Amino acid sequence: MKLLFLSGADRAEAWRAQFAKLAPELEFVQWPDVPDPAAIDFALVWKYPPGELARYPNLKLVSSLGAGIDHIVGDPHFPAHVPFVRLVDPSLTDGMVEYAIYGALRHHRQMRQYESFQRAGEWRPLPAPDTKSTRVGVAGVGEIGGAVARALAGLGFAVAGWSRSGDGPEGLEMFAGAAGWKPFLARTDILVCVLPLTDATRGILNAEAFAAMPQGSALINIARGGHVVAADLVAALDSGPVAYALLDVTDPEPLPAIHPFWRHPKIEITPHIASLTNPATAAPQVVENVRAFLNGKPLRNLVDRGQGY
């Protein structure tokens, strides 16, 4: 049985080592060196050229290397009959939670102001922020967003969530759908975007959304750059109400050197590093799904492509 690794070569060796250990019966094939496409049974994919998967006529199962699946949903040539599973990697979730906590505390504890005071040699205490009355809003409360919301609530923030259906983790105040979007934003001092990127959420962080947010609010985007309308964010930072944006994701990636985000004084950018899939914790579930497929058992984290996440 052959497993195609359809992603950058830089990550291949770590994955190859895991499969050698966990499933030596699977032969690891590193794309693009695929002498016999018909021999490929399984594929592990991340940001591959659209249409590529249609070249493997005997493909049985595709696993995403990450949590997001927009790269696959956006591929019009994805072989429709092939089941597709995504990863739910606990170590990926932990990294996302850590990054969201960092961004929320950085804004909440006014660290950027203190950095500028230090540069000016100023000893200048600001009024202490009150955590219980600082309202965090988590947009998208699935596997990762739910964990982010729980962690920030654990720090004492007033946390609420927003989702299309209004479903969310037990005990979390939720806002639902289009009707709940602006009320949710209006009570959100720190917005953490963890939404999936779908036709319904592309550009959702736009001028109208920013206008609904309170003065001095912050945006932490750990989802996809496509959620943000760049010019609208710059305008909301320049003229209010948004005071700070921490962006781990941009559109496109990498962000071109001339993009206004790079040098905006109220924007901080990291290169999509909030969290990375860890082959050691993620490979076992890929192998489990391959074995489940071969034994006719249900697959874990099967994606409904129609829904888009």
Q: Does 66 bind ligand GLV (CB under 6 A)?
A: yes
- In angstroms, what is the minimal distance from the CB of 68 to ligand GLV? 3
Per the CB < 8 A criterion, the answer to whether 43 and 6 are in contact is yes
**Interface segment toward ligand GLV; rule CB under 6 A; list 33-41, 62-70, 232-240, 290-298:** 62-70
Residue 191: other Cβ atoms inside 10 A: 25
Site string for ligand GLV, 7-26 (x = CB under 6 A): --------------------
Within residues 260-279, the interface with ligand GLV by CB under 6 A covers 277
Among 4, 26, 59, 67, binds ligand GLV (CB under 6 A): 67
Q: Which of 68, 103, 140, 226 binds ligand GLV (CB under 6 A)?
A: 68
User: Please, which residues bridge with residue 176 across strands?
Assistant: 163
Shortest CB 60 distance to ligand GLV, Å: 23
Annotated catalytic residue, options 11, 272, 300, 305: 272
Interface stretch with ligand GLV, choices 65-73, 127-135, 154-162, 204-212 (CB under 6 A): 65-73
Which residue number, 151 or 197, has a Cβ lying nearer to ligand GLV? 197
Q: Is 81 tagged catalytic?
A: no
Give 143 or 189: the residue with its C-beta nearer to ligand GLV: 143
Compute how many residues bind ligand GLV; rule: CB under 6 A: 4
Told to judge if 272 belongs to the known catalytic residues of this protein, a careful annotator would answer yes
Q: Does 145 bind ligand GLV (CB under 6 A)?
A: no
CA distance 256 to 97: 27
Which residues are annotated as catalytic? 224, 272
Interface contacts to ligand GLV, rule CB under 6 A = 66-68, 277
